[in-house]
Amino acid sequence: MSTTNSTPNTPHAGQAGSPYRSELDALRERKESLEKELAGVRQQATELSTLKAREEQLARELEGVDARLRNGGVPKRALPLLDQVRVASPCSASWDKMVGDEHVRFCLSCEKNVYNLSSLSRDAAEALLEKHAGGEMCVRYYQRADGTILTQDCPEGVKKKRRKKLALAIAGAGAMAAATAIAFGRETCHTQGIVAGGIQPLPPPEPSAMGTTAPPSDPTPPTAPTVTAKLGELPPKAMPLTGVVAPRPQPLTGKRAPVQVGKVTR
């Protein structure tokens, strides 16, 4: 009689059906789970950024519509962009060391274009600022004593340019230099100094309203002074005096009574 020894099969850790999971498999599953969750969060963050931008846009539009309603439907005239320029980060880079012309030069330090607003007319400067509205921009300009920006079409500057042209036309070689020095001996439009640097982002222009343009309203005539009517009877007219003119009184003649001086008794 043969005896058969039956030994139970003990499953190894790597075999299928093992009740123990490999640590590497658990890490891989965790990685996949984190990647999926991170992708979802990033998608939500992108959507949130889009919603945030839309929220700001709607808030600005609502503010504009509300302002027009308060103004009787007439759009409020925006402040010119040239009057909103504020240098946020002043720059001390030399204009002479930049590459370019009198209107725009390239700064080798910050590798950006620097625009000379004072070399442009006011309309050209407004168009340039509107083109770069909402973004970064480096500028350079002359500033008046009151803080406003000097442009090429400054009234005082135009007058002095005309005087210079007249001096060049009528003066000789020696007198021409003297006349030019007299015409430009002072800074144009009382400039206070040069301002340069990166400006604060300017607001984008408001979208124009669609529809038929309303005819221009007639200018309001000057208001006449208000006259208050008073009701009642007119006073009777004064009657002229008639009759013989009385003779003038004759001066008194004769001796005057003596004046008595003394203590008054009661």
From first to last of the 266 residues of the chain, give the pLDDT tens digit: 445 555 555 545 445 555 456 888 889 999 999 999 999 999 999 999 899 989 999 998 898 888 888 877 766 556 688 888 888 888 888 999 999 999 999 998 888 899 999 999 988 988 898 888 878 889 998 888 888 888 888 765 555 556 555 555 554 544 444 444 444 434 445 555 677 766 656 665 544 333 333 444 444 554 544 433 333 444 444 455 555 555 666 655 555 555 555 555 55
Radius of gyration of the chain (CA): 47
Residue indicated by tokens 């001096």: 167
Rounded CA-CA distance 154/150 in Å is 7
98's CB contacts (< 8 A; 6+ apart) are: 105, 106, 107, 108, 114
Q: How many CB atoms sit inside 10 A of residue 187's CB? A: 14
